[in-house]
Amino acid sequence: MKANGNTILVTGGGSGIGRALAESLHASGNRVVIAGRRLALLQEVVRANPGMDAVELDVENGASIGSFSLGLCARHPQLNVVVHNAGIMRAEDLRSGSTHLPDAEATIATNLLGPIRLTAALLPHLLSQRTATVVTVTSGLAFVPLATFPTYCATKAALHSWTESLRYQLQGTSVEVVELPPPYVQTELTGAHQASDPRAMPLAEFVAESMRLLSASPTPAEVLVDRVKPLRFAGKGDYHGFFQAFNDSMAGTRH
């Protein structure tokens, strides 16, 4: 991916990793559009970063994605990068019968169907650009699930698989496909406690390392910061032992 001169959509750009990536991409000389459910929050980010643009988008609402995409491309005809970052992460007790299903269904609609639908809507435009990039923000938990968050982990595993298929199908086109799986990062994705958890990677460090890798030439298919590699490559060793030890180490926490 070019380091600068792009027009970039970042979904979930109002907070956390999305905001930090958007601000770093903006500071690097790109035109950045942030999208999310909370327009007031997006506008705060724009005020703090003059030159950014903000557009309201609820990726869980599939019916709105077509009109959103048409409006976005009309407003920003040079759009050539999409960062699928919007996501939710909710704990679920699978022993509770059907009480967890609303959270599970919302997670699937946001984390998996959202990127699939938005890519489908934007891909004809991206293919018309001289160079373009689709970035999927998955998770280290795509490779080793944290059992407290079963549907979140399942959607990220599915998004990883879908990303590989998209990359394969787009070989030979102008669109490259990049996966960015974060480790456990200090954000408020699961609550305020996560932002200060010493076990989590500081957000600024994660974004700085990710930006260095994204701007490498050629761009790696998977942007892997060092802190995520134990999860990404857990299957290379004793996966089942790693899974048990990882989940035991996180037991009793809500992150």
pLDDT in tens, 67-79: 999 999 999 999 9
Question: At 186, which CATH number?
Answer: 3.40.50.720
pLDDT in tens, 169-208: 999 999 999 999 999 999 999 899 999 999 999 999 999 9
Question: Considering the domain boundaries, does residue 1 fall inside one?
Answer: no
- The answer to whether residue 235 scores a pLDDT higher than 50 is yes
pLDDT in tens, 44-55: 999 999 999 999
Question: Considering the domain boundaries, does residue 181 fall inside one?
Answer: yes
Residue-level pLDDT at 254: 53
* Distance from C-alpha of 255 to C-alpha of 146, rounded to nearest angstrom: 10
Question: Considering the domain boundaries, does residue 68 fall inside one?
Answer: yes
- The answer to whether residue 238 scores a pLDDT higher than 90 is no
Report how far apart, in Å, the C-alpha atoms of 173 and of each of 70, 128, 133 are. 22, 10, 11
- The answer to whether residue 252 scores a pLDDT higher than 80 is no
Lowest mean pLDDT among 57-66, 150-159, 228-237: 228-237
In the chain, what percentage of residues exceed pLDDT 90? 87
Number of Cβ within a 10 Å radius of residue 73:
18
Question: Considering the domain boundaries, does residue 2 fall inside one?
Answer: no
Q: Where are the alpha helices (DSSP H) in 109-252?
A: 114-127, 150-169, 203-214, 229-232, 239-250
pTM (predicted TM-score): 0.92
Question: Considering the domain boundaries, does residue 255 fall inside one?
Answer: no
Q: Where are the alpha helices (DSSP H) in 109-183?
A: 114-127, 150-169
Question: Considering the domain boundaries, does residue 91 fall inside one?
Answer: yes
* Mean predicted confidence (pLDDT) in 10-32: 98
* Distance from C-alpha of 101 to C-alpha of 86, rounded to nearest angstrom: 20
Structure tokens at 95: 């022993």
pLDDT in tens, 87-132: 999 999 999 988 899 999 999 999 999 999 999 999 999 999 999 9
Question: Considering the domain boundaries, does residue 158 fall inside one?
Answer: yes
- The answer to whether residue 221 scores a pLDDT higher than 50 is yes
Number of Cβ within a 10 Å radius of residue 232:
19
Number of structural domains (the chain) is 1
Query: Which member of 152, 168, 184, 239 is catalytic?
Result: 152
User: What domain range includes position 174?
Assistant: 7-250
Annotation marks residue 184 as catalytic = no
- pLDDT band for position 255 (cuts 50, 70, 90): very low
- The answer to whether residue 163 scores a pLDDT higher than 50 is yes
